[in-house]
């Protein structure tokens, strides 16, 4: 049974997951996840491949549907409404509206290759959120500057390094002004020498109070930037707490075994 941790006493959670189950055919991937994340908190999820980390992240913004339980973001049940105790799936339009408060950065950058960095960043604000082109462009240029890429605004993805493309992807996710940012192993597709620039951008975001849930194998980032580290294994939360406790002095044998390969 996982333990709920609310890192700020009496602060209502921005994310509230309860008894979340997810299966793919006969394979049960999530086996009852309970997790609260309060506004401004940075939660890093660690765990071995196949532990359910990325699946849980994708369930938070309903890229994957859950089979049982509930996930609320900003007091809204994501993907469903409750009707007499049962989950009823929302329409695609209603789910799209919910996703407007959740930004996500993936392992692959998923930039539009025929668009410049600036065009990639303004696409959603104009096409989905109805911002004027001038306002979206002004905001996008500020975001590209925020991730250190103002000089690359008119470059196409093929003209950017992998680390630069991922930073454009971060700017694109921020352009919708999300209340929550999800990062799904954002450095796993990068060459080792490019990892640092993306992690530096993420540290800056964390220091600015953005609520973040990060799935990663970057133990150094977890130690430095996380308010809380969650260790998952076998579709369950095995251990969670402050980085200095979970990483520095893990209590569960499975956590100790996993971290021994990195530390």
Burial class (CB in 10 A: 0-12, 13-18, 19+), 6: middle
Burial code (b: 16+ CB inside 10 Å, e: under 16) for 208-230 equals: eebbbbbbbbbbebbbebbbbbb
For residue 119, CA distances in Å to 8, 98, 155, 203, 210 come to 38, 23, 10, 25, 24
The model's confidence at residue 263, banded by pLDDT at 50, 70 and 90, is low
Domain at 187, CATH number: 3.40.50.300
Q: Which residue has the higher pLDDT, 101 or 263?
A: 101
134: left (phi over 0), alpha (psi -120 to 50) or beta: alpha
Instruction: List the domain range (segments joined by +) for residue 247.
Output: 15-107+178-259
Burial code (b: 16+ CB inside 10 Å, e: under 16) for 235-255 equals: bbbbbbbebeebbeebeeebb
pLDDT at 3: 43
Residue 133 lies in a domain: no
pLDDT tens by residue, 146-185: 999 999 999 999 999 999 999 999 999 999 999 999 999 9
* Radius of gyration from C-alpha coordinates of the chain: 18
Residue 204 lies in a domain: yes
Structurally, how many domains does the chain consist of? 1
Residue 240 lies in a domain: yes
pLDDT tens by residue, 54-98: 999 999 999 999 999 999 999 999 998 878 777 788 999 999 889
Residue 118 lies in a domain: no
Asked if the model's pLDDT at residue 118 lies above 50, the reply is yes
- Closest by CA to 213, choosing from 240, 248, 252, 247, is 240
The model's confidence at residue 1, banded by pLDDT at 50, 70 and 90, is very low
Residue 193 lies in a domain: yes
CB 5 within 8 A of CB 226: no
Residue 20 lies in a domain: yes
Q: What is the pTM of this model?
A: 0.92
Q: Mean pLDDT throughout 209-215? A: 96
- Closest by CA to 238, choosing from 57, 60, 35, 14, is 35
Query: How far apart, in whole angstroms, are the C-alpha atoms of residue 169 and residue 183?
Result: 11
């Amino acid at each position: 049974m996982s333990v709920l941790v609310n890192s700020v006493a009496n602060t209502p959670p921005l994310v509230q997951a309860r008894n979340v189950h997810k299966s793919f055919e006969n394979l049960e991937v999530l086996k009852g996840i309970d997790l609260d994340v309060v506004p401004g908190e940075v939660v890093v999820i660690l765990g071995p491949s196949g532990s359910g980390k990325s699946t849980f992240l994708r369930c938070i913004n309903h890229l994957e549907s859950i089979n049982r339980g509930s996930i609320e973001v900003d007091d809204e049940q994501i993907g469903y409404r409750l009707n007499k105790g049962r989950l009823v799936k929302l329409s695609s339009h209603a789910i799209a509206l919910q996703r407007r408060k959740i930004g996500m950065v993936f392992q692959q950058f998923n930039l539009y290759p025929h668009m410049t960095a600036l065009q990639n960043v303004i696409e959603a604000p104009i096409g989905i959120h109805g911002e004027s082109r001038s306002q979206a462009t002004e905001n996008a240029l500020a975001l590209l500057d925020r991730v250190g890429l103002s000089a690359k605004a008119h470059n196409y993805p093929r003209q950017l390094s992998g680390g630069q493309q991922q930073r454009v992807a971060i700017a694109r996710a921020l352009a919708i002004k999300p209340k929550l940012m999800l990062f799904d192993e954002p450095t796993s597709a990068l060459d080792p020498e490019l990892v640092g620039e993306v992690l530096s951008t993420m540290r800056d975001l964390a220091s600015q109070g953005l609520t973040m849930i990060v799935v990663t194998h970057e133990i150094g980032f977890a130690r430095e930037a996380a308010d809380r580290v969650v260790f998952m294994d076998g579709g369950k939360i095995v251990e969670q707490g402050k980085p200095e406790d979970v990483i520095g002095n893990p209590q569960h044998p499975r956590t100790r075994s996993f971290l021994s390969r990195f530390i």
